[in-house]
Amino acid sequence: MAAVLFDFSGTLFRVETTESWLRAVLAETGRVLSETELISTAQALEEAGALPGGAVPVELPPDLTDLWAVRDESAELHRAAYTALSRRVPLPDPGLHDALYERHMSPAAWTPYPDAAEVLRALRERGIGVGVVSNIGWDLRPVFREHGLDPYVDTYVLSYEHGVQKPDPRLFSVACEALGADPRQVLMVGDSRPADGGATALGCRVHFVDHLPVAKRPDALLPVLELMR
């Protein structure tokens, strides 16, 4: 195997909880909710699927179906989709919906899985190319830099920068070309069978991990090192 491609959210990093997300924005903006209101609002935001990288909507509003399907194809579509979901939930200030969206793009909102650095470092030491292929609407590179993982990544292929999203094989093809790797010698690691499984169309092998909280998934990436022997 010549290279490994990793998904971002739910694979290498996990976004903060919806409650933490809301608390952070309220603190940043000086807005106040009672503890009871905060918890109920966070729950409503989670059910709405308003936190990118968090839970999917319990029930997607019919008027957002088309937008949701292409949300990762551009920065504008991504913001429109998630702020539309957020606005289904009343907040003390309408401006908080945009503030919430901005918060989720900050490095502070993301935590790497415990074994992410170890695995990426080991791959680099073995001379194996590493790419990040993500369905996303914003630049995640600062997250990797802030958490010290950027030195281990050779290329980033982000859906919004290419106008296509996984499982479209074109996104995986761009990553393989950037790494100079034959797709048949590439492993794709992700948490979504429908999205990340698209790499098989090129002949890539695929390894799946569970999208779990950081504390509940300490070593799911370690098998990657065995697969690359």
- For the segment 31-40, what is each residue's pLDDT rounded down to a tens digit? 999 999 999 9
**Using N-to-C axis directions, what is the helix angle for 35-48 and 18-29, rounded to 10°?**
120
pLDDT interval class at 59 (50, 70, 90): very high
* CA pair distance 215, 189, nearest whole angstrom: 20
pTM, 2 dp = 0.96
Q: What is the mean pLDDT of the chain?
A: 97
**Using N-to-C axis directions, what is the helix angle for 75-86 and 96-104, rounded to 10°?**
130
CB 144 within 8 A of CB 105: no
CB 21 within 8 A of CB 10: no
The arithmetic mean of pLDDT across residues 153-181, rounded, is 98
pLDDT at 15 over 90: yes
- How many other C-beta atoms can be found within 10 angstroms of the C-beta atom of residue 212? 14
**Structure-token pair, residue 185:** 């010698």
**In terms of Cα–Cα distance, which of 14, 226, 12, 221 is closest to 131?**
12
Residue 77: partners with Cβ closer than 8 Å, 6 or more residues away:
67, 70, 71, 137, 160
Beta strands in 51-140 (DSSP E): 110-112, 129-134
Residue ranges per structural domain of the chain? 3-14+110-227, 16-108
**In terms of Cα–Cα distance, which of 109, 184, 186 is closest to 154?**
186
Note the pLDDT tens digit of each residue in 65-104: 999 999 999 999 999 999 999 999 999 999 999 999 999 9
pLDDT at 112 over 90: yes
Q: What is the DSSP letter of 108?
A: G
User: Exposure pattern of 162-200 as b/e (b: 16+ CB <10 Å)?
Assistant: eebbbbbbebbbbbbeebebebeebbbbbbbeebbbbbe
CATH class of segment(s) 3-14+110-227: alpha beta
